[in-house]
Amino acid sequence: MNRLSFLGETPTEALRNAQIECGEDAIVISTKKIVNANGYNKDMYEIVVAIEDEEVQKNLELTKTAIAKATIEVEQIKAEPIKAQVYDYKEEILKMQSLLEQVQKTLWKPKSQLYDLLIPPEFIDIYTIFEKNEFDSEMTYTIMKKTIKELPVSLKSNQKKVNDFFKLVLRRVIPIKMEQPLRKEQRKIMMMVGPTGVGKTTTISKLAARFAYKMEQNHKVGVITLDSFRVGAIEQLQAYTNIMRLPLEIVKKPEDLTEALLRLKNCSYIFIDTAGSSQYDIDKIELINEYRKHVEELPIEKTLVLPSNVKHSDLMEIYKNYSILDIDNLIFTKLDETKSFGNVISFSHKTKKSITYFSIGQNVPDDLIAADASFLIDCFMNNECSKEI
């Protein structure tokens, strides 16, 4: 009898190798585990079998035949082009990743952790727009909940109608004061207040040019400046009024404001420029209030000029300290310097103060438009302010 040894990673595999080579008549003599078998660098199992000499020769012949056949098949495969189908695991992984991201977007997780709202798949794109615009979380929750509840099921499958519905909801929360033509013998006085660098002087120049030259009817316009603190402030305004041939009054004491307004009594529109200051410089704000108190009997609109490119909390802080001036309206500047407009909408809604104008660039007098909810919503939806009005 002849003894032959066969290896396998398991005893079963070793036995199967022995049976393939020697047939079912092979007699198993021993089975043992070989630690770190040579050539394998891992544990293997050895089975030793015994077979008759005839069986050995027969099996050897069968093995040679099998090897020869396999060799011919390999050569044929080499000669033919490979047509193996490769499974694209990368594509499947990307699909799974996309699905996970979609699920993640639907879960409402505001920082406050006060709410738990599941965003339907058809609202994911809108929800993403709210997030990009850094919209106030409480208002986002309220709007989403209201829309999920009120939007008819038949409209939810149409993305355009979903967007239109959200635009309608936003339109309802944006307070806008429409520009109205003056009646005969009527005049309008606007006092511009706000922090340093928001563009009050430039905005006044744009408004002065708008009513003096750009409307259907040209009006008499006068300008007053109370800003004697900032270097070059008077010179800047004087340069604009000289170009437009408009009267400019320079007032340095609160008691002189009444006389300046009397000198401009023939003007239909009067714009008052004030000194800009930090919202934390209460003394400067109180000084502006002194000017206001001296003309308290006159119908003067106090307009808070704000930059649109600061966060909601900063806008609220500015408003809090300037509110001693009895703010009537808002003007937002620098819309061209931001891609996030949620702060503008949520701030105006929370303060209940109407927006009157938008400044969308530095060009005088062109880059100023009368406030319009549709324009602001388009900026919001597109994450960009368009100058094509």
Measured between alpha carbons, how far is 167 from 175 in angstroms, rounded to an integer? 14
Measured between alpha carbons, how far is 280 from 289 in angstroms, rounded to an integer? 15
- The model carries a pTM of 0.68
Asked whether residue 387 is domain-assigned, the answer is no
CB 359 within 8 A of CB 330: no
* Beta-sheet strand order (sheet of 27-34): 2-8, 44-51, 27-34
Q: What is the pLDDT along the chain (389 residues), one digit of tens a residue?
A: 667 787 888 878 877 877 777 776 667 677 777 777 666 667 788 887 776 655 555 655 666 666 666 666 656 655 665 455 555 666 777 777 776 666 555 554 444 343 566 777 777 888 888 888 888 888 888 888 887 777 777 777 788 888 888 888 899 999 999 998 888 888 999 999 999 889 899 999 999 999 999 888 899 999 999 976 665 667 888 888 999 999 999 998 999 999 999 999 999 999 999 987 777 888 888 999 999 998 888 999 999 999 999 999 999 999 999 999 999 999 999 999 999 999 999 999 999 999 999 999 888 888 899 999 999 999 999 888 876 65
Is residue 115 located within the same domain as residue 248?
A: no
CB 387 within 8 A of CB 360: yes
- Number of domains forming the structure of the chain: 3
- For residue 103, what pLDDT is reported? 57
Is residue 346 located within the same domain as residue 257?
A: yes
- For residue 330, what pLDDT is reported? 97
Q: How far is the CA of 50 from the CAs of 8, 31, 367, in angstroms?
A: 17, 12, 99
Structural domain containing residue 59: 2-79
Q: Of the candidates 110, 140, 173, which is a domain's last residue?
A: 173
Which positions ≥6 away from 29 have C-beta within 8 Å? Answer: 3, 48, 49, 50
| Strand 329-333, strand 354-359: pairing | parallel
Is residue 269 located within the same domain as residue 300?
A: yes
Q: Of the candidates 173, 200, 219, which is a domain's last residue?
A: 173
CB 2 within 8 A of CB 27: no
Is residue 312 located within the same domain as residue 169?
A: no
- For residue 113, what pLDDT is reported? 40
> What residue type is assigned to position 268 of the chain?
S
CATH of the domain at 13: 3.30.70
Measured between alpha carbons, how far is 27 from 49 in angstroms, rounded to an integer? 5
- For residue 140, what pLDDT is reported? 85
- For residue 177, what pLDDT is reported? 94
- For residue 355, what pLDDT is reported? 96
